[in-house]
Amino acid sequence: MTIAVYAGSFDPVTAGHLSVVRQAARLFGHVVVVVAINPDKRTLLTVAERMELLREVVALHPNVTVASTEGLIVDYARAIGASVLLRGVRGATDAQFETTLAQANRALAPDLSTLFLPAESHLAEVSSSRLKEKLARGEDVSDFCPPAVAAKLRSRLSPPSLRSP
């Protein structure tokens, strides 16, 4: 069985991320969605909150699990016997960044392949940052993320008058 690792900060998980997960779940025997912990990056949600949300939204896929790591993703992938690193791309800017990252990962771990999976075209503009910005302005984000994610973010970002009960 081929194990694939899809890593990111997932602060928070978006509809674009889930598009990649759905594709990966069809392609691989086991997909591990890994919350990559970067102590230098300021995040809105804790690692535990990000993992909880991910587990909730990937629950429909029995071959998808959620984990976290503070180390290099290539080290984590090797430790669990993965042979593929997955990266989501939204457009040309992502492709350039992701290609550079894939080349760095290949230099560290030539035994791991990187596969780029584009999100569905209507999700090309979805990002965690944009999602948080929209919620902070009180805008509708139902096309950008699952309801559980919107509720969690709304409790953190929205003015009190716009928060769900």
Mean pLDDT of 98-117: 95
Residue 161, number of CB atoms within 10 A of its CB: 6
CA 11 from centre of chain: 8
Assess contact for 43 and 9: CB atoms under 8 A.
yes
Q: Of 128, 132, 134, 152, which is the active-site residue?
A: 128
Q: Is 157 annotated as a binding residue?
A: no
Reply yes or no on whether the pLDDT at 141 is more than 60.
Answer: yes
pLDDT at 158: 57
Residue 135 host element (H or E): helix 128-136
Q: Is 142 annotated as a binding residue?
A: no
**Which tops the pLDDT comparison, 96 or 114?**
114
Residue 132 annotated in active site: no
Q: Which two tokens stand for residue 152?
A: 């969690």
Reply yes or no on whether the pLDDT at 11 is more than 90.
Answer: yes
- Map out the domains of the chain with their CATH numbers: 3-122 (3.40.50.620)
Mean pLDDT of 60-88: 97
Q: How confident is the model over 121-130, as pLDDT tens digits?
A: 888 778 888 8
pTM assigned to the model: 0.90
Residue 50 annotated in active site: no
Mean pLDDT of 7-15: 94
Provide the CB-side half-sphere exposure for 153 (13 A, CA): 30
Reply yes or no on whether the pLDDT at 161 is more than 60.
Answer: no
